[in-house]
Amino acid sequence: MTLKKMTNAISGLLPINKSTGATSFSLVKILRKITNVSKIGHAGTLDPFASGVMLLLIGKSYTTKANELVALDKEYLATITLGSATNTYDIEGTVTNTSDYIPKIAEIQKAIDHFQNEISQIPPMFSAKKVNGKKLYELARKGITVERKPQIVSVETTLISYNYPTLTIQVKCSKGTYIRSIANDIGEMLNTHAHLSALTRLRVGPYSLENCIDQNDLNDLPLEKFIYTL
């Protein structure tokens, strides 16, 4: 994609449908080149293997709203692969346990029923959460595991489909919810192990995929049509 700079500076909130394989920061870099605005941030990252809604904040008056926007509730479509767990709880990690047990649909539903309303969740070691000033994933990469305090999050989980080894769920959740932790926990509950193999963020607050400009269209469509002001 050849990037073209805009002639007039813009500011606002731009919902983007991030592509699988792209890093969150790569969107910031692309927008800086297109808009000629240096002050650009986002309201919450997505892992490279994940896709879906990311809120990009253009201009200083919007980057200062990042904490407020990060706190918005979110909705995800998650694909879970049963039969193997990884150290990162997702497809990017190293397999740590396997099982050939095939859960029945009734067992699946019972496990999913646990992830409703307020639940206690321990942040995974491979996460950006800080403990004593250190990001957990930095410690995890050195083979260091530290105690993490459980946190209370609010979730609403729906079974979409199940065809072993693939389980698909939809999760509406509050700030700070780790979907890959839910995947790992479901695997443990079912005695089969599991990891998150695909993830699409469907919504952040009132902004859904329908409001987004596709990442691949950033240079070809007028951004102004997709920018929101607060």
Nearest to 185 by CA among 95, 122, 131: 122
CA triplet 87, 124, 214: central angle to 5 degrees?
90
The average pLDDT across 206-228 equals 94
Residue 99 belongs to a domain: yes
Lowest model confidence (mean pLDDT) among 112-121, 131-140, 180-189: 131-140
Structure tokens at 186: 């479901």
Task: Report d(CA 179, CA 157) in Å as an integer.
Answer: 10
Residue 154 belongs to a domain: yes
Residue 105 belongs to a domain: yes
User: Coil, helix or strand for 167?
Assistant: strand
Task: Report d(CA 181, CA 108) in Å as an integer.
Answer: 16
pLDDT for 2 beyond 90: no
User: Coil, helix or strand for 229?
Assistant: coil
Nearest to 165 by CA among 99, 102, 106: 102
Residue 5 belongs to a domain: no
CB 34 within 8 A of CB 10: no
pLDDT value of residue 144: 83
Task: Report d(CA 58, CA 35) in Å as an integer.
Answer: 9
200 and 222 assigned to the same domain? no
67 and 105 assigned to the same domain? no
Distance between start and end Cα atoms, the chain:
30
pLDDT for 221 beyond 80: yes
* Cis preceding linkage at 165, omega within 30: yes
pLDDT for 3 beyond 80: no
Give tens-digit pLDDT for 72-81. 999 999 999 9
Q: Tell me the β-bridge partners of 151.
A: 121
pLDDT value of residue 5: 46
Task: Report d(CA 175, CA 130) in Å as an integer.
Answer: 16
195 and 88 assigned to the same domain? yes
Residue 6 belongs to a domain: no
The enclosing domain of 192 has a CATH number of: 3.30.2350.10
pLDDT value of residue 145: 86
107 and 195 assigned to the same domain? yes
30 and 95 assigned to the same domain? no
Q: Would you say the pTM of this structure is higher than 0.75?
A: yes
Active site residue 185: no
pLDDT for 147 beyond 90: no
40 and 138 assigned to the same domain? no
CA triplet 175, 45, 225: central angle to 5 degrees?
100
Report CA-CA distances (Å) from 202 to 15, 36, 162.
11, 29, 20
118 and 198 assigned to the same domain? yes
49 and 117 assigned to the same domain? no
Residue 111 or residue 9, greater confidence: 111
Give tens-digit pLDDT for 33-82. 999 999 999 999 899 999 999 999 999 999 999 999 999 999 999 999 99
pLDDT value of residue 8: 55
135 and 158 assigned to the same domain? yes
35 and 46 assigned to the same domain? yes
Lowest model confidence (mean pLDDT) among 62-76, 87-101, 128-142: 128-142
Q: What is the domain count for the chain?
A: 2
Give tens-digit pLDDT for 166-198. 999 999 999 999 999 999 999 999 999 999 999
Range of the domain at 101: 74-204
The percent of residues above 90 in pLDDT, for the chain, comes to 80
189 and 83 assigned to the same domain? yes
The average pLDDT across 19-42 equals 93
Residue 38 belongs to a domain: yes
The percent of residues above 70 in pLDDT, for the chain, comes to 96
Compute the mean pLDDT over every residue in the chain, rounded to the nearest whole number: 92
CB neighbour list of residue 225: distance below 8 Å, 6 or more residues apart: none
Residue 3 belongs to a domain: no
The stretches of the chain forming alpha helices (DSSP H) are 24-35, 60-63, 66-70, 105-113, 136-140, 179-189
182 and 85 assigned to the same domain? yes
Choose the catalytic residue: 47, 185, 214, 217.
47
The average pLDDT across 71-98 equals 96
CB neighbour list of residue 90: distance below 8 Å, 6 or more residues apart: 47, 49, 180, 183, 195, 196, 197, 199
- pLDDT class of 109 with cuts at 50, 70, 90: very high
